[in-house]
């Protein structure tokens, strides 16, 4: 088969053939979390998307270097620490460890390098000094700002004029800046804030500079793929480009990949709405394989609407599929499955199409236990190794006592007209593999897939 890899490059806004800088090798940098609170399902989606991209690149033969950073110095971390009266390092370390655990629990492979800002202060000061010497930044009252009107390509990634940046984005106004769009490379520290000595006094790095430094450290000043969520395109990624390209003649990252964001029950996920779902809470309720299958059955660039009902739907179809893998007769021989799903992935990592092909083949009885190697390869790339066992075991472990208890509670809830509880009990039964049937006076149950 071996067709070429095509990917959608946010920098050109079109699909392009992927050409690595070095034959057979790929360097990929993905922006990681700011570690000031528990990670949520938005982080989970981005991590799963890039995990599968790295796995796939490796399986088609590339030697991949995968880098993801931790932002462990940031105003949000400092504010949280002062709120709680603790050291900001305690906050960042706690949530960094939590994130590493969450990623492993989601079945993501560890990146090859996971650098932190706090370990790169010297490199950051050095890069800022070079940007100033090249005439692209200025010092002002202990802060250092990048002067965007010096960089003629500013706006090339987000594809917008400076006027639209000013009207469409929240810009920090600060009397130290020459231009409202200039952004901080270095921020002066207040007396009670953490800071590092620098040629401009005690301070800390601005947010964007770290990624220019850490990507270059591990992948070189020009590398293949830069990834992250869509929300990072402006200002973060735009600013990374400006910083890096102001000191190098060539291009920073050749291909920019951005995953779509998630909504919760059709609403934007946000602190102000209060609908943020942490990865830990989701994993208490749902098996990680199910979360992966749910996200990967969408193309990585599209938005995803996450809801309990949708996860239940996925769970129902997954149960049926597992049953088919295990009950179909022998159907050995190459039916083209491997070529087809890989072709889907070579076309801008279309996991949604690849899963569609996978489920169709199983439904039609074309792949089952007799071609388990093909199934296992697909499972490896999607990171869902073990999903079959989990759904089989779950079903075997259910005893009738559990479901009878739910039915009794639900009968009482219906009598009391407590519809909320009644609904919750229905979801509970469904997650155990049973459907509740409401009769006139009482409720009975049946296994979902019979």
Q: Which residues bind Zn ion (CB under 5 A)?
A: 31, 211
**Smallest distance, Zn ion to C-beta of residue 211, A:** 3
DSSP letter (8 states) at residue 237: I
**Smallest distance, Zn ion to C-beta of residue 156, A:** 17
Nearer to Zn ion, 31 or 185 (CB): 31
DSSP letter (8 states) at residue 236: I
**Smallest distance, Zn ion to C-beta of residue 361, A:** 39
Nearer to Zn ion, 183 or 434 (CB): 183
| Dist CA 404 CA 247 (whole Å) | 69
Q: Is the dihedral of CA 171, 177, 183, 189 positive or negative?
A: negative
Backbone angles phi, psi at 95, to 5 degrees: -80, -20
DSSP letter (8 states) at residue 233: I
**Maximal CA-CA distance, the chain:** 81
How far from 256 is each of 53, 70, 223, 240, 268, CA to CA, in Å? 13, 19, 11, 12, 24
**Smallest distance, Zn ion to C-beta of residue 82, A:** 25
Q: Which candidate, 77, 97, 98, 95, places its Cα nearest to that of 87?
A: 77
Nearer to Zn ion, 243 or 289 (CB): 243
Contacts of residue 306, Cβ cutoff 8 Å, sequence gap at least 6: 41, 262, 263, 264, 265, 269, 277, 294
Q: At what angle do helices 209-219 and 238-247 cross, to 10 degrees?
A: 60
**Smallest distance, Zn ion to C-beta of residue 279, A:** 20
Nearer to Zn ion, 226 or 292 (CB): 226
Q: 3-state DSSP call for residue 346? A: helix
Nearer to Zn ion, 220 or 336 (CB): 220
Nearer to Zn ion, 28 or 345 (CB): 28
Backbone angles phi, psi at 184, to 5 degrees: -75, 130
CB atoms within 10 A of CB 408: 13
Backbone angles phi, psi at 263, to 5 degrees: -110, 155
Q: In the sheet that 143-146 helps form, which strands lie side by side, from edge to edge?
A: 137-140, 143-146, 183-188, 203-205
Nearer to Zn ion, 31 or 375 (CB): 31
DSSP string, 201-212: -SEEE-TTHHHH
**Smallest distance, Zn ion to C-beta of residue 89, A:** 21
**Smallest distance, Zn ion to C-beta of residue 72, A:** 13
**Smallest distance, Zn ion to C-beta of residue 150, A:** 21
Alpha helices in 201-277 (DSSP H): 209-219, 238-247
Nearer to Zn ion, 172 or 416 (CB): 172
Nearer to Zn ion, 124 or 211 (CB): 211
**Smallest distance, Zn ion to C-beta of residue 240, A:** 6
């Amino acid at each position: 088969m071996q067709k070429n890899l095509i990917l959608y490059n946010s920098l050109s806004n079109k699909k392009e053939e992927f050409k690595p800088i070095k034959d057979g090798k790929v360097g990929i940098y993905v922006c990681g979390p700011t570690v000031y609170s528990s990670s949520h399902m938005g982080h989970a989606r981005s991590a799963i998307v890039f995990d599968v991209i790295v796995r796939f690149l490796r399986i088609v033969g590339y030697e991949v270097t995968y880098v993801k950073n931790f932002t462990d110095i940031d105003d949000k971390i400092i504010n949280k620490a002062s709120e709680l009266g603790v050291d900001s390092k305690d906050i960042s370390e706690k949530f960094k460890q939590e994130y590493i655990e969450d990623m492993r629990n989601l079945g993501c492979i560890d990146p090859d390098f996971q650098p932190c800002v706090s370990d790169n202060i010297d490199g950051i000061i050095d890069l800022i000094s070079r940007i100033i010497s090249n005439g692209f930044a200025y010092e002002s009252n202990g802060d250092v700002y990048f002067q965007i009107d010096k960089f003629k390509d500013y706006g090339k990634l987000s594809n917008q004029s400076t006027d639209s940046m000013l009207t469409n984005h929240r810009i920090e106004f600060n009397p130290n800046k020459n231009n409202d769009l200039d952004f901080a490379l270095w921020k002066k520290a207040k007396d009670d804030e953490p800071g590092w000595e620098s040629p401009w006094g005690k301070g800390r790095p601005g947010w964007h500079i770290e990624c220019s430094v850490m990507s270059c450290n591990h992948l070189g000043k020009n590398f293949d793929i830069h990834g992250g969520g869509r929300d990072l395109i402006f200002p973060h990624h735009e600013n990374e480009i400006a910083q890096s390209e102001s000191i190098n003649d060539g291009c920073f990252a050749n291909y920019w990949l951005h995953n779509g964001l998630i909504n919760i029950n059709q609403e934007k996920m946000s602190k102000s709405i209060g609908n943020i779902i942490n990865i830990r809470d989701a994993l208490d309720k749902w098996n990680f394989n199910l979360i992966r299958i749910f996200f990967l059955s969408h193309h990585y660039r599209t938005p995803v609407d996450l809801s309990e009902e949708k996860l239940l739907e996925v769970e129902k179809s997954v149960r049926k599929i597992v049953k088919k893998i295990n009950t179909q007769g022998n159907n050995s021989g190459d039916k083209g499955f491997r070529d087809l799903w890989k072709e889907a992935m070579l076309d801008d990592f279309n996991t949604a199409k690849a899963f569609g092909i996978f489920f169709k083949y199983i439904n039609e009885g074309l792949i089952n236990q007799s071609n388990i190697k093909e199934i296992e390869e697909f499972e490896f790339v999607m990171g869902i190794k073990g999903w079959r066992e989990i759904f089989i075991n779950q079903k075997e472990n259910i005893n009738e006592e559990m479901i009878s208890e739910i039915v009794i509670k639900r009968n009482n809830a219906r009598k009391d007209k407590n519809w909320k509880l009644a609904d919750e009990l229905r979801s509970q039964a469904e997650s155990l593999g049973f459907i509740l049937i409401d009769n006139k006076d009482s409720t009975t149950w049946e296994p979902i897939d019979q």
